């Protein structure tokens, strides 16, 4: 059964055990990448051959969010500090609280905020970037 992006949260933690919602996000990047392909072809091979290399998330993971001064300042305060981050999919309760019941993607990294440009009659947006310092791991719940 397919699910949509409703109830997707960017979480943060100081110790990796108790997480809080960093801010509401509008978009999130690819979280799990396949490994690089390392070519092993020799002149006697009839086709190119490969072995798996390292996984590379491709620089910073960038999350889209609505701009507020409070959210921007909260992320800016995290710059230069390695923290635990996670994308949790799923929530429960009333009011809804993130629980990651449909998947958790966790890692450590360094966050930063950038203010996006905009034109006439557009929403003010910002980008939250997180430079991962550990591999991204998946847990079913």
Per-residue pLDDT tens digits for 9-65: 999 999 999 999 999 999 999 998 889 999 999 999 999 999 999 988 878 999 999
CB 29 within 8 A of CB 63: yes
Per-residue pLDDT tens digits for 75-98: 999 999 999 999 999 999 999 999
Residue 43 lies in a domain: no
| CA nearest neighbour of 98 among 106, 87, 109, 108 | 87
| CA nearest neighbour of 29 among 8, 1, 55 | 8
For residue 91, list its beta bridge partners: 98
Provide the Cα torsion 75, 79, 85, 90; round to 10°. 10
Residue 45 lies in a domain: no
CATH number for the domain including 12?
A: 2.30.110
Residue 59: what pLDDT? 85
Give how many domains the chain has, as a whole number: 1
Residue pointed to by tokens 């072809």: 41
pTM: 0.91
Residue 39 lies in a domain: no
Q: Which structural domain range is residue 80 located in? A: 8-33+52-139
**97: exposed, middle or buried (C-beta count within 10 Å: 0-12, 13-18, 19+)?**
exposed
Residue 118, pLDDT above cutoff 90: yes
């Amino acid at each position: 059964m397919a699910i949509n992006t409703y109830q997707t949260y960017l979480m943060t933690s100081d110790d990796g055990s108790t997480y809080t919602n960093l801010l509401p996000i509008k978009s999130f990047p690819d979280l799990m990448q396949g490994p690089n392909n390392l070519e092993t072809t020799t002149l006697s091979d009839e086709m190119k051959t490969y072995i798996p290399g390292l996984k590379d998330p491709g620089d910073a993971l960038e999350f889209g969010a609505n701009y507020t001064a409070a959210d921007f300042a909260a992320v800016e305060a995290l710059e230069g500090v390695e923290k635990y981050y996670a994308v949790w999919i799923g929530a429960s309760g009333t009011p809804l609280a993130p629980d990651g019941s449909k998947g958790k993607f966790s890692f450590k990294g360094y966050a930063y905020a950038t203010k996006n440009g905009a034109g006439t009659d557009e929403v003010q947006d910002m980008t939250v970037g997180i430079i991962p310092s550990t591999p991204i791991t998946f847990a079913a719940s």
